[in-house]
Structure 1
């Protein structure tokens, strides 16, 4: 069945929810609003110091662990859990852990700044943030990547819930995040032109995923199938940090030059614990 003929079903948000808050300074209370499912997203403009974004970007491109991903083409340092067993993902994460750390440990690193701030805000609620674990093994701390796909989207429309349902990852604590809300975090350290964040007002359900045959991947949704839904297109610039509910279908539209980000996904597993993974 052609995807454009499938009527997507799921949850649509009201106008008060379906918008991004914009700030010029980091406000971790707004990030917690996204984690708790109280708002769609927030973007903090130009909050990564120029020296930090330059150093982190240079470390990324010089990293001996940098690879090129097919399918959704990108240069990256780190590991993807998408469409893999937990064992494969955690093994790959361990293999590149030191290289990831070398990149994100750049002086003034936004990864450290952001996580310290989120953890402090969570502490006020009796909770904390840490990297996800399974059987004593850790998820990747971050995924540093630069998109280079041609076409209308450099990252095709997708959502982040389906990939957490994979039976091959049974027992991995990230699957408990499905009982709460998924928060995608991106920190832009290099940007030329284009590459807007696009997000549609549809949080697909399992019936839609089954009809499209993407129950465990959440990828791809076509622009034609999404045409009936309200969309936001958010300009992303070098130095920006943004967080949003990754259960809503989203994409990165066409970009030219380099668009390099430090990324991870996070969510509550219970009232006291937020975990992150890539």
Structure 2
């Protein structure tokens, strides 16, 4: 059976025992390490960002001189995307905006610092380190702070995060080694009104599916009709929540009312002893 001229999605579907989200009321870096190592699909830490921190981070974001409107998308952001561009462009954009990103993140009880400090300590016990991804001495962007407010069934269309790590225009960037392990997405919610649930499907598309859809090096986007019949679940997200999950699975954000603002980055093992992050 085909949908609108496309063959059904093919790829890996995980055991139901793996495909679920754990929920905790306190941050636990060991669970994050489990996601990185492919032992757990995802986990959400509820209400771990203090309200005062949320407000200050949002205020700095909206007042930042580096705030931009993303071309072709109803979203505002501070930071740099590596997605769908030459590596030289991404690293140059990062160099221009990195200080502005850190100005937004450098608040009391910053979730960005807490997450990285505790995860670094956990990884050290496993003989691994955590750092920004690098290439020729240049570093990836520390984080992307963004607000989505798109109307429609999905405020962020179904996509996955593995394909973008294989863009040939980024040859030599060490994130291209991460798909040998797991590609993980991290989000820290600091502003949220209504809707905007995280939607996840139990499929990791293969290259054949990507080629058929013409998204071999972007992973964006998958027609919703092709996801019909594939196991899915939806996670309510609230201000103060921090969550991480395996971004190799197709995922999306459903209809949102108002801004859904979060601090985000991707991460994964580049080798057995090094976890890198990028945006």
Range into which the TM-score falls when normalised by the shorter chain? over 0.9
Contact persistence 1:72–1:156 (CA under 8 A): no
Pick closer, same or farther for the CA change 1:3–1:114 going to 2, 3 Å.
farther
Q: TM-score, normalised by structure 2?
A: 0.98
Contact persistence 1:90–1:138 (CA under 8 A): yes
Segments of structure 1 that go 5 or more residues without pairing to the other structure are none
2:53 aligns to what? Answer: 52
Q: Using the TM superposition, give the Cα deviation of residue 130 of structure 1 relative to its aligned residue in structure 2, in angstroms.
A: 0.4
SS in 2 for 1:52: helix
Pick closer, same or farther for the CA change 1:4–1:43 going to 2, 3 Å.
farther
SS in 1 for 2:192: strand
SS in 2 for 1:266: strand
How many residue pairs end up in the alignment?
278
SS in 1 for 2:34: helix
The whole-number CA distance in structure 1 between the counterparts of 2:25 and 2:73 is 31
The whole-number CA distance in structure 2 between the counterparts of 1:267 and 1:4 is 35
The whole-number CA distance in structure 2 between the counterparts of 1:130 and 1:161 is 19
> What pairs with 1:25-64 in structure 2 (closer than 5 Å)?
25-64=26-65
The whole-number CA distance in structure 2 between the counterparts of 1:194 and 1:63 is 26
- Tell which deviates more after alignment, 2-11 or 89-98: 2-11
Q: Does 1:193 align with 2:194?
A: yes
Q: TM-score, normalised by structure 1?
A: 0.98
Post-superposition CA distance 1:186-244 (Å, at most 9, x none): 00011111000000000000010011110011011011100120111000000000000
Segments of structure 2 that go 5 or more residues without pairing to the other structure are none
The whole-number CA distance in structure 1 between the counterparts of 2:149 and 2:82 is 20
The whole-number CA distance in structure 2 between the counterparts of 1:4 and 1:108 is 50
Q: Using the TM superposition, give the Cα deviation of residue 2 of structure 1 relative to its aligned residue in structure 2, in angstroms.
A: 5.9
2:102 aligns to what? Answer: 101
Contact persistence 2:34–2:40 (CA under 8 A): yes
> What pairs with 1:77-156 in structure 2 (closer than 5 Å)?
77-156=78-157
Give the CA RMSD over aligned residues.
1.1
